[in-house]
Structure 1
Amino acid sequence: MTKQSYNIRNIALDLLMRISDQGGYSHLVIDQMLKKHQLEPRDGGLLTEIVYGTLQRKLTLEYDLNTFIKSNKKIDTWVKWLLYLSFYQMKYLDKVPDHAVIHESVEIAKRKGHKGIANFVNGILRSAQRDGFPDYELINDPVKRVSIETSHPLWLVKRWNQQYGIETTEQMCQTNITHKQVSIRVQPQRITRKQLLSRLEDSHIRVRLSSISEQGLVIEEGNILKDETFQEALFTIQDESSMLVAELMDLKEEMTVLDACSAPGGKATHIAEKMNDSGTVFAYDLHAKKAALVNKKAKELGLTSIQAAQSDARKLQEKHVNHTFDRILIDAPCSGLGVLRSKPDIKYNKTSEDIRKLATIQKEILHHVEPLLKNEGKLMYSTCTVDQEENEEVIKDFLAKHPNYRVDPAFFAELPEILQDSSGRSEWGIQIFPQDINSDGFFMTRLVKDS
């Protein structure tokens, strides 16, 4: 065992403890740790894989562990996480031999605990190596089976089953534990999509055209962050579902647009690009630091039409008079249950009460912002969640209270061909599931304000 490989697993254990027990955000603490230790790309990749993978599969690994221990056995939290990350490597990482995983885990147990803990860890891992892991097909209840097999909390699987049925729910949960593809959005004022594609292929980065956005490219192989085109700010990294929001806003040059909940700025900059950097995009975020990120992003991309500032979306009538905007985007604060591939810790931390509170905030934002839209203007509502209470139910409530609004019938005709027959379509908008286009789960709809 090399000291470096031991360090990677020790760092992984430390990260998992910080994320699970201290409430750290997975993507932030992993990024901080990679910068702190300045790991080689290969080691950084293994660390990220172990941490994200173990988090993604936590409930599955917990179920596995319970088959090897007595139910009344008390185990320190760090020992559980050490066993989880060891199980993850043994089950899901083909290139890491079991004997290496067992040896290094026992070494960590010795250094962090004592000989008794090391013997316990050794015994559990050797039992798993000898006997194999449980067969989840033996779980009779399909909802419980999906929960255990895909590591989603039981309450959440039950909820989605009630909303969408077991088939869609299982497909969504299975997709949530797969690797997410990277997609990028070209800055068309700087380079065409065809030109960027050619440059990336010259750098041996394999890409394909997005079927969602004419500015989009999907990375199939290669590290886009290491390419010089990234340093030149010729594109923005953005999920395809997220790209679709600005694509469906029916934007034209010289419009005045409001992005009421803007940070980190992916959609605001896309709006500006779609309008050829003409008109004005007023972008707001509740936090001043996050609003500053929007301005920073606009500057990097060479966009001058964006004005970002701090404000609660529920107080924007203090900044703008009624009938100011041609288009309004409310990319509402939400539970984030559509982005579980990128932020797996979300599924363990959210509750149904959180969803209820967020739906209340979403309704408040819509109600407060709508007077700012011009007559015959269009309002885009989107979330990165897959829960009906935050999506269809919010829109139903809004339309019932605002009879001068309706879902724009042209919205559905403008959907990309790949989504025309989507099961997520309803009279209220479209629910994109992670499995639909291998992207984030998103809801979006476009409302039009009558004269």
Structure 2
Amino acid sequence: MSNYQLREAIVDILVRIEQDSGYSHLLIDHELKSRKINPKDEGLLTEVVYGTMQRKITLDFYLEDFLNPKKKLEPWVRMLLRMSVYQSVFLDKIPDHAIIHEAVEIAKRKGHKGISSLVNGVLRSLQRQGVRDTSKITNTSTKISIETSHPEWLVKRWLSMYGETITREMCEANLGRKPMSIRVQPLRGTRDETIKRLKELGMDVIASDFSSQGIVIKEGNVLKTSLFSEGFVTVQDQSSMLVGEVMNLKPGLQVLDACSAPGGKVTHIAEKMEDQGVIHAYDLHAKKAKLLNKKASELNLTIIDAKQADARDLHQMYEKETFDRILVDAPCSGLGVIRGKPDIKYNKQEKDIERLADIQLEIMESVAPLLKKDGQLIYSTCTVDKEENEGVVEAFLKKHTDYNVDYQLFDQLPSNVANSPGHTELGLQLFPQTFQTDGFFLTRLIKSK
């Protein structure tokens, strides 16, 4: 594949992500496979797609001075300009003359002479004059929004919740990439053995502080190893591993996972139970439930029974006080995983968060009667929004006086995690910048009567 073809592929992916609200990580994976991208080009494609999406608002701010606001650009032309400016400003590997030349050639192939002239003129003007200075922006939310490419409504929301320091740190962290982490299947091998094997393969890895099964991959591709393909390890973010670590699991329990896909947490639970007991796992979509059973099989786990159901209907399917443990890993806005899915920050609105908080509370209320006395209910999300996290827990506790926050949860966490900035009376909020994990919320409730 030539340089032009590679960059055309990048433009196509970017347009599809924006127009179809497609998930960037899925589209990139599909393109890498379907277009047979050369392995040496995979890194550049991924870097430019993610980088352009992550910094879209900043790139538009830079381009504003060089475009006629009255002239409507086709989506692919705007993406070509954004992509070119991203490479010029944020990447050191490619000289400006090569970036401009390739952009103009793509414009000729995809458009006409007028478009190629526009692309050439804009990029050469920007090269001569440089990008706009953001230091003159005086409004805090506008400045953070443009400098870190987060919609201003979202920045304002986080400023009201967390203040300027945490908000800026979180937005800046969302521009980077976090290291991959994996979880060892302990019924098939130990963490020490796995670390040794990965190091022998030339990978740079360290043990995770979050879980006795966790390993952080600092350098290397674990997905291309037999350890991954044969089910000795599975990919899971460190923050997500905390769920299995704080459920006080043992063999023989009856467990309900109300919102189970894609399956990282439920398979961890099965491992903690030494594959003894029963786990009823549900997802709203039958296809995802099927994939979950497949994942369990790949990890050689037999106690997971995954089916399709709306978690809000589960109270109709089981007797009261059926389960020892219940996990509600609730459907959420995903604002804690922006680093891996940068398109999320552009596709969400405040009304989405309000709607999701209502659904989350409905799920909690549906499963609440199903927990045994002295049983534990874990509530978690991969978002950093208080309305979905502390707000949902607070609303639930007001209606359900038989439930209380179990503060012993914090004693079971690593001390640096338990005492991190997001520790509240209602649970633990992890920010993406604190430990280079996903943004994640977790609490444990005990049913007292």
Question: Is 2:61 the counterpart of 1:63?
Answer: yes
Partner of 1:277: 275
1:69 Cα shift? Answer: 2.4
**Aligned residue runs from structure 1 range 16-27, under 5 A:** 16-27=14-25
Partner of 1:125: 123
Match of 1:417 among 415, 418, 434: 415
1:383 Cα shift? Answer: 0.4
1:90 Cα shift? Answer: 0.7
State how far apart, in whole Å, the 1-side matches of 2:407 and 2:291 are.
35
Partner of 1:262: 260
- Can you list the C-alpha shifts for 1:87-139, whole angstroms capped at 9, x where unaligned? 11111111112111110000011111111111111111112222221222221
Q: Which amino acid in structure 2 is aligned with residue 12 of structure 1?
A: I
Partner of 2:398: 400
State how far apart, in whole Å, the 1-side matches of 2:19 and 2:229 are.
36
Q: CA RMSD in A?
A: 1.0
Indicate the SS of the match to 1:94.
coil
- Can you list the C-alpha shifts for 1:387-414, whole angstroms capped at 9, x where unaligned? 0000001000000000000000211111
**Aligned residue runs from structure 1 range 146-295, under 5 A:** 146-295=144-293
**Contact kept in structure 2, 1:380 and 1:446, CA below 8 Å:** yes
Indicate the SS of the match to 2:12.
helix
Indicate the SS of the match to 1:118.
helix
Q: Which amino acid in structure 2 is aligned with residue 363 of structure 1?
A: L
**Contact kept in structure 1, 2:254 and 2:279, CA below 8 Å:** yes
Question: Is 2:111 the counterpart of 1:104?
Answer: no
Indicate the SS of the match to 1:212.
coil
Indicate the SS of the match to 2:338.
coil
Partner of 1:78: 76
- Can you list the C-alpha shifts for 1:285-319, whole angstroms capped at 9, x where unaligned? 01100001110000000001111111111111232
1:218 Cα shift? Answer: 0.3
State how far apart, in whole Å, the 2-side matches of 1:234 and 1:399 are.
40
**Contact kept in structure 1, 2:418 and 2:428, CA below 8 Å:** no
Structure 1: 5+ residue stretches without partners: none
**Contact kept in structure 2, 1:286 and 1:310, CA below 8 Å:** yes
Q: Which moved more, 1:76-85 or 1:169-178?
A: 76-85
Match of 2:441 among 429, 440, 443: 443
Q: Which moved more, 1:103-112 or 1:28-37?
A: 28-37
- Can you list the C-alpha shifts for 1:190-223, whole angstroms capped at 9, x where unaligned? 0100000000000001101101111000001111
Question: Is 2:356 the counterpart of 1:336?
Answer: no
1:56 Cα shift? Answer: 0.7
Indicate the SS of the match to 1:136.
coil
State how far apart, in whole Å, the 2-side matches of 1:69 and 1:365 are.
48
Q: Which amino acid in structure 2 is aligned with residue 432 of structure 1?
A: L
**Contact kept in structure 2, 1:249 and 1:378, CA below 8 Å:** yes
State how far apart, in whole Å, the 2-side matches of 1:288 and 1:72 are.
47
Match of 1:312 among 298, 310, 313: 310
Runs of 4+ with >3 A deviation: none
Q: Which amino acid in structure 1 is aligned with residue 51 of structure 2?
A: G
Partner of 1:386: 384
State how far apart, in whole Å, the 2-side matches of 1:13 and 1:142 are.
32
Q: Which amino acid in structure 2 is aligned with residue 417 of structure 1?
A: S
Number of aligned pairs? 449
Structure 2: 5+ residue stretches without partners: none
Indicate the SS of the match to 2:195.
helix
Q: Which moved more, 1:191-200 or 1:61-70?
A: 61-70
How does the TM-score come out when normalised to structure 1?
0.98
Q: Which amino acid in structure 2 is aligned with residue 177 of structure 1?
A: L
State how far apart, in whole Å, the 2-side matches of 1:63 and 1:103 are.
23
1:345 Cα shift? Answer: 0.7
Q: Which moved more, 1:197-206 or 1:22-31?
A: 22-31
Match of 2:426 among 416, 425, 428: 428
**Identical positions, percent:** 57
State how far apart, in whole Å, the 1-side matches of 2:107 and 2:252 are.
63
Partner of 1:40: 38
State how far apart, in whole Å, the 2-side matches of 1:312 and 1:73 are.
47
State how far apart, in whole Å, the 2-side matches of 1:137 and 1:179 are.
25
Partner of 2:362: 364
1:328 Cα shift? Answer: 0.3
Indicate the SS of the match to 1:431.
strand
